[in-house]
Amino acid sequence: MSENLISNWRRHIAVFFSGFLMGTADVIPGVSGGTVAFVLGIYEELIDAIRAVVPFLRRLASLRWGEAFGAFPWRFLLALGTGIGTAVLSMARFLHWALEVYPVYVYALFFGLIVASLFVVRTRVRQWSLPTLLVTALFTVGAYLLVGVRPAQTPEALWFIFLSGMLAICAMILPGISGAFILVLLGKYHYLLGALVRMEVVTVLVFIAGAAVGIVSFANILRWLLNRYHDLTVAALIGVMLGALRELWPWKRARTVDDIPVEAVDVLPAALTGEVAIALGLMLLGFGAVMMIERAAERLRRGRTPN
């Protein structure tokens, strides 16, 4: 009995640290928590746990409490969720400060992370064809234009925070797609980091509520799309990531109309200054970090493939 207890505690601690690594990845645009889960070997268990939420709620509604908790992997999700939450809270303050003080460096690192993620995600397309290329091109152009015309400030209303949580959480179950990147695209990454640092409880709880709804509903939709139209779905995601790189370009110049900020114009650095050199180095660092994670995942996949 004691050996089983120790084994269970070791398992829960391992899941907690897996969640911590996933949370650290998800708070950084470009590094996917789903990819980390894949590397750590808990990806399938995570998908199964998410799928078990709806049957769990149905049993609770039918007052079958024992059956509900007996069939639901709540210990796994509790340990994983605690690890993710711990990582997000601990990383938020540092990233909020870095974005305030060194925005060019931070976005340069993020840019490199996303470019590397594109190399990773493209391998998820099983067979490239004319339709997949057209879908990628269409979504690339759409995302690029959308980022360009997006207002300088997206709404800070609670309904938009809820929606942001719904959309961002879906990235957790997709290797290569970062939830933080979705928040950047929605213009709410910096705002939500600040809300975490300032402990704005209402904002954080509304975001968490949106994430809870999103992971139950959108996860099933995305899983259905990936099962039915896998290559086209991944091609669309690649297009969104590629077009939205415009949002992460480190060098921008503010543009105003009647003294009101409406957009930022993408520019090239005028000279190879120390700042530009450091930013380019951080781009390469971000690129290399993601490629190392992907190589680790590839080695893990090969190790599990039967001879």
pLDDT 10s digit of each residue in the chain, 307 long?
455 555 677 778 888 988 888 888 777 765 667 767 766 767 768 877 887 888 888 888 888 888 888 888 888 889 998 998 888 888 877 877 887 888 888 888 888 888 887 887 788 788 899 999 999 999 889 878 876 665 556 788 899 999 999 888 876 666 556 777 788 778 888 888 888 888 889 999 999 899 888 887 776 776 778 788 888 888 887 888 788 787 778 887 655 444 444 455 566 676 778 888 998 998 999 888 878 877 776 776 566 555 5
- The rounded radius of gyration (Å) of the Cα atoms in the chain is 20
Please answer whether residues 232 and 135 qualify as being in contact, where contact means their C-beta atoms are separated by less than 8 angstroms.
Answer: yes
Domain locations along the chain: 2-304
pLDDT value of position 256: 47
- Assess contact for 23 and 180: CB atoms under 8 A: no
The share of the chain scoring above pLDDT 90, in percent, equals 8
- What are the start-end ranges of the E strands in the chain? 252-257, 260-266
pLDDT at 266: 61
pLDDT in tens, 221-261: 767 787 888 888 888 878 887 887 877 788 876 554 444 44
| For helices 201-228 and 230-248, angle between their N-to-C axes, nearest 10 degrees | 140
Residue 298 makes CB contacts below 8 A (sequence gap 6+) with none
**Distance, CA of 176 to CA of 226 (rounded, Å):** 14
39 contacts 296 by C-beta, under 8 angstroms: yes
